[in-house]
Structures are given as structure tokens and as C-alpha cells.
Structure 1
């Protein structure tokens, strides 16, 4: 691959894999009910990892819940089952799965998350024992849909201002989107006129992690 070809490749958005109708309507309704029931347990989403996370509303506005209660085990099993096909479709090197890290995120009126990647380094967590390799984002929302915006924008390695491209993915109900954890991406601003929590753009983020070498 020559320099010109290499640069052209780096200006294209990272690949992604879509699984429509991932969990089914019954699961969507269960998740919506769980989110609304636990609304008071959501906290402002931070930047960074766990104890080192910090709030910066100029970069990210949303709210997060990490406790899935009795839903956790079955949810993780379903996310794990989606991994092999995604690894194959995205042409990733097969890896040993050590754990799935999952969180529930609500994007209400005015929420967004600017360009970022999902990988974690020792600077983020000195005690890190595994690494994020694959990101999965599962979308669900109430019907009728009461928000607009909130598209997942997949970026190229090269920034837009330097000629990098992007593609926007609509957050469709009951859809799972998977992509490499090191792929730059963002959540475009959400408009939810009612400002009701139950009308938010809900998503489950799942990070597939391999053991640290």
C-alpha cells in the first residue's frame, strides 16, 4: 500500500456492523419500563473511566445507569452472542472475551457526545486488567418516537477539517450497531421538545473486553 492509498483509506469512516431487530419488542418494553422505574438512579455521564471520570458538559451531556439488576445476566448473554459475527464482518483479529462492560444511557433534550474513542489506557486506569476491543450500541425508545437527532456519527481516522469523511447512523428502535472500540465517533445533538425522561433516546453501550497482554 503506497502513501496515497494509505491516506485515502484513512479519510474513509471506520466500518460498522448493524443488527436490526436485535432483542425484539418485549425486551424493548422491559428496558423502557426499567429505565423509567430507575430514573432517579441515573447520574450525569462523565468522561474518562470510573473513578477517574470527570464531568465536562462542553463535551458530553447525558445520564447513565450501570445497574441492570436481574436483567444483567440475560442481557450480557445476548450481547455476547452477537460478537462472533461482528468480529468476522469487521475483519477484526479473533480475541478471547474476558468480560462485557455495559451501561444504560439516556440522551434527553440537548444531549450530545462530541468526537471520541472508547479505548481505555493505563493512564485512565492504572489497574486495568483488560482492554476494550469492540463497541456495541443498542438503541431503543418509546413509540411514537418523541425526539429527533441523536445520530451516531462514525468518523474517519483523519479529522473532518483535514479531509476526513463521516457517515451518520440513525438510532433505530431495537437496533444494535457494532464497531471497533478505537474508531472515532460521536452522538449528534438530540432534540426532545417534551423534555420527558421516558421520551429520551435510550441506548445500551456494551464494550467487549479482552485480557491485558
Structure 2
């Protein structure tokens, strides 16, 4: 059930459960005042104020001071002021400060998908663990990475800015079920269509070797 209380109050309660400090509580308050929805973090240029002990694990769980942040309203609030800069680092950004956090893999996880239409009209829509709903396409491309050491496949969806969502493993299996063999630049590829864009997954020959 969605928490209908004031997001700043709900966030402060979550911080108390996670072992909050006064500085982080102040950051939460400023993030809450930045506005509802998605604040224009890409346009803000506040000073860097150091790193905080916050980490987003590969499964999308947020930790502060080594403790999971259990309140979804707080995680959702922080997710709206996330920004990944050209230096490759991820920050929480408000109009007056920018603080660094650690991200093990991607800041978001795509936990659900829906496919509508067929052929060139096919649209693949994802929902992330923090509630973003994103249609894969030219503005939100998918990329597929071979995972070193396991031979597994890791799909990523661009959500906004430079922030990506790792497609959860069960969703990935569903996703590749909608792939098809398409010739791209003269080479047969196993690929996925969405909103008129084609996203290569792997060479068709490789898929056949895997028994697909």
C-alpha cells in the first residue's frame, strides 16, 4: 500500500530506523522540498560536499551506514534526486549540495515488463523497483552485456540522464522471449524491437550455439 503521509515525515522515520545522522536528515528535508515528481537535477550545479556512507546494492536495496533502508517512501524520495555525472560517479543532488554515494551495479532494477503490439509497432514497457515506468525506445535504449565469469546476459535500460536499470533475471528471461532474428548491417542478430528501435542482444549464430 502506498504511504500517503507527508514524504518528508515518512522519510525521517525511515532514517531513524536506519541510524540517521543530523546531516542526512537535513539532506532528506531539502530533497523533499525540491518538489514533487522528478526535480531538474541535471540543471543544478551545487558544490560537492563529500561522500556519505550510502550504497545501492545489485538487487536494488539501499543501505545507509551498513543498514538497509526499509522505508520505500525514503528510497523513492532519494531516487528522484539521483544523478550520474560524466565522471562515472553517482550523486544525491539538491539545489545546495551534491554528495557521492556508492552503486554496486545500476541504481535501479527493472522488476516488471509488459509487451504490446507486434513487429515495428511493438512496445516494451518496464517498471522499476522505485516505481518508474519506462518504454524502451530511441530515448530509453536497452543494452545487453555478457557477464564475465558466468556466461550470463545482463540487460540494462536507460531510465533518465545516465541512470540505468538492471533488468532483473526473471524479467530478462521474459524479455528475450520476445526477441527475433534480424539482419543488422549485413549480420544476423538476435534482437528486440521497441518503439521502432532495434536492440541487438547477441549474434544469431551465438544463440544457435547456446541451443536457442
Between Structure 1 and Structure 2, which shows a larger proportion of strand residues? 2
TM-score of the superposed pair, with normalisation by structure 1: 0.22
Q: Which has the larger radius of gyration?
A: 2
State the structure with bigger RCO (CA 8 A, min sep 6), 1 or 2: 1
